[in-house]
Amino acid sequence: MEANRYLWKIHKPLVGSVIVLLLLGALTVDSASMLLYLRFPSVKYLFFAKHVFFILLGATLGYLLLNIRTRFYLKGWFVVLSNLVILPLLFLVFIFPARNGAHRWVQIAGLTIQPSEFAKIVVMLTLALLLAPGRSRSQETLAFLYLGAIFLLVALEPDVGTSLFLLAVGIFMMLLARVRFKKLLGWGGGLLLLGLSLLIITGRVGHVKKRLSDFFSGQKEISTQEEQALVALGSGGLTGSSPGESLEKFFYLPEAHSDYIFSILGEEWGFVGTSAVVFLFLLFLFSGFHIASSVNQPGASLLAYGLTISVVLQALVNITVNVGLFPSKGLPLPFMSYGGSAMLSSLLQAGILTHIWMWRREYEA
């Protein structure tokens, strides 16, 4: 395959940071899933096996992506096709039964898919196309309307955290594309007010109020996830209790293998381990920005900036939730948390970034 001759051209710091994060995540997921193994001995190591399966699937898709020389993700037909796939899925979530009070998943051929994870990529592809240099005012307006529609659909699931995340990444890309700040402020504020109004009307704002009140209250129960996450991090000390020796994963910290994997890593690997993870995401950030500033096509550059900030912002939110600086929100830690849709989305974002770098000097986009 053609990419075999060009793989040496990959952005080594970016790919290296992803590989190390994947390894640390796999080890921690295996440890954090111990309680699930004890509860369901018949499916022992199933969670770890599924986690590794999605890593391998994402890596395979990424490798196949690198064999495609043309920057197809900047083509209008591909962006339209991606939207024709993701938009129906975002509507279909409301047909399937709710889980924990939210409609966020669809089941296709026995597989459970979270469309909002892949919507992140499709939103960035669409905005990179609509906000290209030489755009008209109608294209800017269409970009706002499109972003607003996705924002509201995801918010109504309800998944307020992911919807705000999508809005933040979209506005970041618009700022880079030099959309007027006053226009951004007006549209962004309007979308937030509309989203809040719809949540109130549909009665889906209760869990948001509770999380915010719990976070800002000075009298939180010691049994809350946020407190137990801090206990896990604090007990890790400098070098941790050693891999596999976490105690917080046993009944104390729900979702230890997904949303709170950073705390389990801190307990087992200590300050050294958590600092390494922060460093790796900073390396991803600088590598992504280096790719974005090196590419010769404005649309690809804007997309690269969006992909980079998407991964790093999600990591920032997850880590700040784990250390108690941000209200609890179910954004997984990229490349590390358990979850097939989230893992595939993160690896595809890294794959597109790598492709942009490898073929940055190609002009047939």
- What is the structure's pLDDT at 40? 63
Q: Which domain holds residue 227?
A: 2-358
364 lies in some domain: no
Residues 6+ apart with CB under 8 A from 295: 301, 304, 356, 357, 360
66 lies in some domain: yes
How many domains, in total, are found in the chain? 1
| pLDDT tens profile 35-54 | 666 666 666 677 788 999 99
pLDDT at 365 over 50: no
The partner residues of 99 in beta bridges, in order of sequence, read 102
Instruction: State the average pLDDT for the chain.
Output: 84
Distance between CA atoms of residues 31 and 130, nearest Å: 44
Quick one: pLDDT band at residue 206, thresholds 50, 70, 90?
low
pLDDT at 159 over 80: yes
Specify the amino acid at residue 243.
P
113 lies in some domain: yes
pLDDT at 174 over 70: yes
| pLDDT tens profile 58-103 | 999 998 998 888 889 999 999 999 999 999 999 999 998 888 778 8
Beta strand residue intervals within the chain, DSSP E: 106-108, 111-113
**pTM for the full predicted model:** 0.89
Q: Can you tell me the mean pLDDT for 132-158? A: 88
Q: Can you tell me the mean pLDDT for 319-325? A: 88
- What is the structure's pLDDT at 81? 97
User: Hey, what are 136's tokens?
Assistant: 């008209």
| pLDDT tens profile 247-306 | 666 656 666 677 888 988 998 899 999 999 999 999 999 999 999 999 988 999 999 999
- What is the structure's pLDDT at 116? 94
363 lies in some domain: no
Q: Which residue has the higher pLDDT, 7 or 62?
A: 62
Where do we find the tokens 């998943």? 105
Q: Can you tell me the mean pLDDT for 222-251? A: 74
Nearest residue to 230 (alpha-carbon basis) of 209, 215, 208: 215
- What is the structure's pLDDT at 223? 45
223 lies in some domain: yes
240 lies in some domain: yes
